[in-house]
Structure 1
Amino acid sequence: MAQERTGVATLKSNPITLVGPEIKVGDKAPDFKVNKDLMTQVSLADYAGKVKLISVVPSLDTGVCDAQTRRFNEEAAGLGDNVAVLTISVDLPFAQARWCGAAGIDKVITLSDYKTKSFGEAYGVLIKEIQLDMRAIFVIDANDTVQYVEYLGEMTAHPNYEAAVEAVKKLV
């Protein structure tokens, strides 16, 4: 049974349970399997040799998640080809593609954790009560070592965009 963490996060001030370990700076990035589309799965190895900024959102169809993904899409333009900016949510790949088209998102790669919740459990962001992934940011270097972590304590709060982008810039 996967580890459960309580007392570390809330949804509109209501306590929630996160499933999986707390990832820390210096950890080897855990592998995961998420869907690029309905049939195609990708893993950490698909981004080997690149710096990875992983932006985790509960659902693209909410205000903060929308703003977070748009912000990292803008930032991605200035980070270079050696950086993969990934947004992971439990939204279905169809919904992600529709949202990206409507929002003009073209730099961020959206990936879906809907099928196995592999990412959520590996990175300690799966919310037990509602089966969504909790908002978090991970920056992983080209050797798959975690260099920056931000777990949000409140699901509706914004992450520290500047700190995440700075962590990426130090690695490229």
Structure 2
Amino acid sequence: MANRKKANRTREKETEWQERVVQIRRVTKVVKGGKKLSFRAIVVIGNERGQVGVGVGKANDVIGAVKKGVSDGKKHLVDVPLTKSSSIPQLSVGRGGAAKVLMRPAAPGTGVIAGGAVRTVLELAGVKNILAKQLGSSNPLNNARAAIAALANLRTFKDVAEERDISLEQLYS
């Protein structure tokens, strides 16, 4: 019976994480005998409660590449501070390669206004109301990494008050 409970708990932990494949690309490597074909998968993993990560995996088959991407994404998780309206606390800008992502908090009922890989990252992070814009590059990997960088830059009002060694009331006044 104890084993059954343990198995249920591990299944719950596995199912709370959602994964979405952003891109699968065939890549080739030129070797002595010709070209070697493999697959690259960009995977976003999140629990819709403030944790999200982006992972990249390469393998000879698609399933192996996705599995490697998921494990890589779990290694690079970021905690996202969310407000009561499931938005972000303040404006944030992130960079990833040549990509730049601008994120702005939005009023309740706005929804996720973002495109491509940034939208996937925000949805899996649990953000419900946000305005985001991709600038510079249309590369899904760089845009996903820029979105992660922007979310990693976010701080709550409590964190800012602690850094300045003042109370939350003094911060608002």
More strand per residue: 1 or 2?
2
Given the two structures, how large is their TM-score scaled by the length of structure 2?
0.26
More helix per residue: 1 or 2?
2
Given the two structures, how large is their TM-score scaled by the length of structure 1?
0.26
Larger radius of gyration: 2
